[in-house]
């Protein structure tokens, strides 16, 4: 009888181990699938780096690795005054767009999340509909308008259209974060004598800092990579951002395409964005999914 009683816990433990193994074990084919997806996603960037380290005949050899790795292409682009200026232009445009999108977007998002007025959902839908509007449809009218009023080929002439498409994104992200903040905290601040703006600035904004960071990162990435307005609304290196500047790289002869310098410049402008995404990937995902699950 004792041996039978002892066999029951042993059988239960064995069943529990099998169940844990079945639930926790990852099938081998899943690891292969994940590895294949990673290689598929990273190979274009690897090929970009591969080409940037090649010079001369190696560029057209098509080898999977650079036979004679060289940093000559990187040295050449940093000796190019137009490329260095374009980096500065991109930094000014992206940072200005991000700053304005966060400031204006936070006020708009707070009003949509907290104030009571009719047809809030319709207003939010109209704001989000701007992101679906094709940029090419307004590029030509903007070109004509900017030429007439003197904003063509200026930094502010690029910040305004970038801000038009960056604001809806920041508003959408921040509305979700503001809705998650308990309203009792603002009411307590008002009872203590704070104004509505002070309650917003000292209570709501600090609590919504993750949302502000998420919106800022996404807006900055979008502004840094913007190409359509950059190529349409500029005509000289004075205000041309880096994506458009790369398109104007020229070779030693008329028909030569400087693939090495183009790929080197692409690697240089991609590295800050890659590092930013890797460092803040959790906040980016949290910002995009905020408010998706209730309860």
Measure the CA angle with vertex 108, ends 226 and 114; round to 5°.
140
Q: Is the same domain home to 37 and 176?
A: no
Buried b / exposed e along 258-295 (16+ C-beta atoms within 10 A): bbbbbbbbbbbbeeeeeeeeeebeebbebbeebeeeee
Q: Give pLDDT, residue 119.
A: 79
Q: Is the same domain home to 108 and 168?
A: yes
Q: C-alpha distances in angstroms, 159 versus 14, 225, 227? A: 65, 13, 13
23 versus 87: the higher-pLDDT residue is 87
Q: Is the same domain home to 141 and 7?
A: no
User: Average pLDDT of the chain?
Assistant: 84
Q: Give pLDDT, residue 18.
A: 57
CATH of the domain at 211: 1.10.3720.10
Q: Give pLDDT, residue 136.
A: 87
Tokens of 244: 């458009």
Mean pLDDT to the nearest integer, 12-16: 59
Assess if residue 167 is contained within a domain: yes
Residue 15's Cβ-side half-sphere holds a number of Cα atoms within 13 Å equal to 6
Assess if residue 217 is contained within a domain: yes
Assess if residue 67 is contained within a domain: no
Q: Is the same domain home to 80 and 223?
A: yes
For residue 195, pLDDT over 60 is answered with yes
Q: Is the same domain home to 34 and 100?
A: no
Assess if residue 64 is contained within a domain: no
Assess if residue 135 is contained within a domain: yes
Buried b / exposed e along 190-211 (16+ C-beta atoms within 10 A): eeeebeeeebbeebbbeebeeb
Q: Give pLDDT, residue 233.
A: 94
Q: Give pLDDT, residue 173.
A: 86
Q: Is the same domain home to 176 and 46?
A: no
Assess if residue 61 is contained within a domain: no
pTM score above 0.75: yes
Assess if residue 65 is contained within a domain: no
Assess if residue 262 is contained within a domain: yes
Q: Give pLDDT, residue 25.
A: 65
Nearest residue to 162 via CA among 227, 89, 248, 236: 227
Q: Is the same domain home to 11 and 90?
A: no
Region class of 62: left (phi > 0), else alpha (psi between -120 and 50), else beta: left
pLDDT band for position 287 (50/70/90)? low
Q: Give pLDDT, residue 293.
A: 47
Please state, for a pLDDT cut of 70, what percent of the chain lies above it: 86
> Which residues, 6+ apart, have CB-to-CB distance to 114 below 8 Å?
178, 183, 186
For residue 289, pLDDT over 90 is answered with no
Q: Is the same domain home to 144 and 37?
A: no
Q: How many domains does the chain have?
A: 2
Buried b / exposed e along 132-142 (16+ C-beta atoms within 10 A): eeeeeebeeeb
Q: Is the same domain home to 132 and 248?
A: yes
Q: Is the same domain home to 270 and 137?
A: yes
pLDDT band for position 229 (50/70/90)? very high
Q: Give pLDDT, residue 14.
A: 61
Q: Is the same domain home to 19 and 84?
A: no
Full domain range(s) for residue 131: 74-289
Q: Is the same domain home to 129 and 6?
A: no
């Amino acid at each position: 009888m004792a041996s039978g009683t002892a066999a029951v816990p042993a059988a239960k433990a064995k069943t529990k181990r099998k169940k844990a193994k079945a639930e926790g074990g990852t099938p081998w084919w899943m690891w292969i699938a994940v590895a294949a997806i990673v290689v598929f996603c990273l190979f274009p960037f690897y090929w970009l780096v591969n080409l940037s380290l090649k010079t001369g005949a190696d560029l057209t050899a098509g080898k999977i690795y650079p036979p004679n790795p060289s940093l000559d292409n990187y040295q050449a682009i940093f000796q190019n005054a137009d490329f260095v200026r374009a980096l500065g232009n991109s930094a000014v445009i992206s940072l200005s767009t991000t700053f304005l999108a966060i400031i204006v977007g936070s006020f708009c998002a707070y009003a949509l999340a907290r104030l009571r007025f009719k047809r809030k959902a319709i207003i939010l839908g109209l704001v989000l509909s701007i992101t679906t509007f094709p940029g090419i449809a307004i590029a030509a009218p903007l070109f004509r308008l900017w030429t007439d009023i003197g904003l063509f080929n200026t930094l502010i002439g690029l910040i305004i259209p970038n801000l038009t498409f960056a604001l809806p994104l920041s508003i959408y992200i921040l509305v979700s974060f503001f809705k998650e903040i308990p309203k009792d905290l603002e009411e307590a601040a008002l009872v203590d004598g704070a104004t509505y703006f002070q309650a917003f600035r000292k209570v709501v904004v600090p609590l919504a800092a993750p949302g502000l960071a998420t919106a800022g990162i996404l807006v900055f990435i979008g502004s840094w990579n913007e190409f359509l307005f950059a190529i349409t609304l500029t005509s000289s290196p004075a205000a041309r951002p880096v994506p458009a500047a790369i398109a104007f790289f020229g070779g030693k002869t008329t028909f030569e395409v400087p693939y090495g310098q183009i790929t080197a410049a692409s690697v240089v402008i991609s590295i800050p964005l890659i590092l930013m995404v890797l460092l803040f990937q959790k906040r980016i995902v949290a910002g995009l999914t905020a408010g998706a699950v209730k309860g």
